């Protein structure tokens, strides 16, 4: 019997198949999802269901759809999709949806990202806990779904071309200088969406030469994990950018909702720099607007937002927190250190493809190489995220806090300590594993390295 507390996380469902969950579990979750939509008087009589390229996706999605239909709502099956395609469908059609993906996790995993109409997020505090409990009750009674009348209907719809056309309306790439772009899809959904968004013959031609890496959809990830946050998974892209003499490289994660950028030298561009770059572009169109950033992005991000006339607002790490804060403040844009980028013009949802298009536009609208352009937005030295296995996370965080009594403390998300010289670090517990995650930034590499090593020694001793 499935223990849903093991697979229902803070923002989504995620676990190994069939060990932790299977199609019977998916059907119960579909029924529970629909019950919660009804309880919240969610408008519309249909639910969108999509899946990525993982082998277990079609079966799990079909079982979930059966649970939805048994509860009286019809289903619109989108088939293969990136996560931001599902958000596009939810926003443009005004319907709730479920995306079957485990994002960057290994092949044996799968999961569900659920949203209300308008791509509004569903997390632990906004319905996901209730979905978990209702589905668990069905499974405990030996039912995947309650017995009822005839199932509601289902239909199949392909929205890839509509999604591509919508993104083209938001960022015009037709007038940029010619660019050679290496794209590493990691055998994930970028291999499905990039050819249509950036090269569809039915849309106006763009001055882009796309060099594809690993565009074949393969949920076993035969070349490397579809997790560009790990530097080891950028090596092929970095090499290809230099070998092909490309101006830029793009790497998407498995469900293509995140995008990482590599410059013409093969050097990674930090997500904080991309956040600042896109924020500046959006603020040029919407002066005085609010921009959200999570607390682990570089200090340069709020500095640059203010310099461009915007209002920076800090939020906790995680898409449900970012999206809620964006909706509350009507923010024009939001960015995270993990390369999630959120847009008001995209129903406050995250889309790696739109961030990539903004970066291509910024590069192609002037003559500077990307290394120089990105350098304008990188002012400090960051460690990147470093994980440590810790049994008692709370006790260790308290110990580290006590070691720096003079530092300015912030506990919005874990522990953030700031020092008078501009250095800071954040130490926060993982939501799902016995890990502490450390991020350090300082004005110089020497100061960052010293502070990083000092804090890591305290965490790991």
Catalytic residue numbers read 103
Give exposure, 130-165, as e/b (b: 16+ Cβ within 10 Å): bbbebbbebbeeeebbeeeeebbebeeeebbeebbe
Distance spanning both ends of the chain, measured CA to CA: 39
Calculate Rg over the CA atoms of the chain.
22
Q: Which two tokens stand for residue 100?
A: 């079957």
**Residue 5 token pair:** 């507390």
Triad 106, 67, 49: Cα angle to 5°: 55
Angle at 109 between CA 70 and CA 9, to 5 degrees: 70
188 touches 252 (CB < 8 A): yes
Complete DSSP assignment for 6-44: GTB-SSSEEEETTTT--HHHHHHHHHHHHHHHHHTT-S-
> What is the rounded distance in angstroms from the CA atom of residue 252 to the CA atom of residue 103?
10
174: number of Cβ within 10 Å: 10
Please tell me what DSSP assigns to residue 151: P
- 459: three-class secondary structure by DSSP: helix
Helix (H, G, I), strand (E, B) or coil at 51: strand
Structure tokens at 235: 């090596």
For the chain, the helix, strand and coil percentages under 3-state DSSP, each to the nearest 5: 40, 20, 40
- What distance in Å separates the CA atoms of residue 179 and residue 62, rounded to the nearest whole number? 41
H/E element, 216: none
C-alpha distances in Å from residue 318, one per residue of 12, 255, 315, 344, 445: 11, 16, 9, 17, 28
Two structure tokens written together for 431: 């939501």
């Amino acid at each position: 019997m499935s223990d849903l507390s093991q697979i229902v996380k803070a923002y989504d469902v995620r676990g190994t198949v069939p060990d932790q969950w299977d199609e019977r579990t998916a059907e119960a979750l579909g029924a529970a999802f629909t019950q919660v939509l009804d309880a919240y008087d969610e408008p519309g009589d249909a639910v969108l269901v999509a899946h990525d390229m993982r082998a277990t996706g079609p079966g799990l999605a079909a079982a979930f759809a059966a649970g939805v239909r048994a509860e009286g709502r019809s289903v619109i099956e989108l088939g293969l999709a990136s996560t931001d395609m599902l958000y596009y469908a939810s926003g443009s059609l005004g319907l709730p949806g479920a995306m079957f993906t485990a994002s960057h996790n290994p092949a044996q995993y799968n999961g569900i990202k659920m949203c209300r109409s308008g791509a509004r997020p569903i997390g632990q505090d906004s319905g996901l806990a209730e979905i978990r409990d209702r589905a668990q009750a069905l499974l405990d009674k030996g039912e995947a779904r309650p017995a009822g009348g005839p199932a509601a209907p289902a239909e199949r719809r392909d929205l890839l071309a509509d999604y591509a056309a919508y993104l083209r309306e938001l960022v015009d790439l037709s007038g940029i200088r010619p660019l050679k772009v290496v794209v590493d899809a990691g055998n994930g959904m970028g291999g499905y969406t990039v050819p249509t968004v950036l090269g569809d013959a039915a849309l106006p031609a763009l001055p882009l030469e796309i060099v594809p890496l690993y565009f074949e959809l393969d949920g076993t990830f035969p070349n490397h994990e579809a997790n560009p946050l790990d530097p080891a998974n950028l090596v092929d892209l970095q090499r290809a950018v230099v070998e092909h003499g490309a101006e830029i490289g793009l790497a998407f994660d498995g469900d293509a909702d995140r995008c990482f950028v590599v410059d013409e030298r093969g050097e990674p561009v930090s997500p904080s720099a991309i956040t600042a770059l896109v924020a500046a572009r959006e603020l040029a169109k919407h002066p005085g607007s609010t921009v959200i950033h999570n607390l682990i992005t570089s200090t340069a991000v709020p500095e640059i937002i203010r310099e461009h006339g915007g209002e920076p607002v800090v939020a906790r790490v995680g898409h449900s927190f970012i999206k809620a804060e964006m909706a509350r403040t009507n923010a024009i844009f939001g960015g995270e250190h993990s390369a999630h980028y959120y847009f008001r013009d995209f129903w406050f949802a995250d889309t790696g493809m739109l961030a990539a298009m903004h970066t291509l536009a910024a590069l192609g609208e002037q003559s500077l190489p990307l290394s120089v352009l990105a350098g304008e937005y990188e002012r400090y030295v960051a460690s990147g995220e470093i994980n440590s296995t810790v049994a008692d996370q709370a006790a260790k965080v308290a110990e580290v806090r006590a070691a720096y009594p003079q530092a300015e403390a912030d506990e919005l998300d874990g522990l953030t300590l700031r020092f008078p010289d501009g250095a800071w670090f954040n130490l926060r517990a993982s939501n799902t594993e016995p890990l502490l995650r450390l991020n350090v930034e300082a004005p110089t590499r020497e100061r960052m390295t010293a502070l990083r090593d000092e804090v890591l020694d305290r965490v790991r001793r």
